[in-house]
Amino acid sequence: MAIEAVDDRIRTDEMKNLSSSTRTTDTPPVAIDANNPRPRVPVGAPLAVGIVKDAPFHPSPSLDERHITGLDHYEQFKSELQPAVAALSVATEALKAVDKAHLQLRKDGSKTDDQKLLVISGPAEKAHDRIYKHFTTARETLENAATALEQQLQAPIQQKASNGGLNC
């Protein structure tokens, strides 16, 4: 019983730290409040309406090529990993291009937000298709490389088993 009471106190203290009432507007939340899963917008923060946004676009850190090029033994498997590196590069550049087109549209005062959305949807869909094609190619290349590597590793075992060298 004493452990449960300590556990509850810890949870309560953690929730106080996560609660928006204990943070200032300059301090971002550390995690999502379990009691309120919707993130809170600080008072006075600008809200995005339609496709209008104030913050510049930054590609996700998960699209950084160094996640792949920094792997151990990257040079050994460079040819198999190259499509994956290219897919990340294409995704980053395509998203930057869509954002650039979006910023140009934002300056155009002659169109409503709905019209701007229709105009940007074409290039965004083309970028999506291009990104999808590269990721599909990368996935297929990696699957084929993994299959080939697995067959290379199993070949000596299968040969030894067929010669009667393994007791199964």
Q: How far apart are CA 145 and CA 151, in angstroms?
A: 10
pLDDT number for residue 23: 47
pTM above 0.85, yes or no: no
Task: Retrieve residue 29's tokens.
Answer: 């939340």
pLDDT number for residue 136: 96
Kindly tell me the burial class for residue 9, based on how many C-beta atoms sit within 10 Å of its own C-beta (0-12, 13-18, 19 or more).
exposed
pLDDT number for residue 94: 93
pLDDT along the chain (168 residues), means of 10: 47 50 48 52 53 63 89 91 94 91 86 87 93 96 93 82 64
Q: How far apart are CA 42 and CA 24, in angstroms?
A: 8
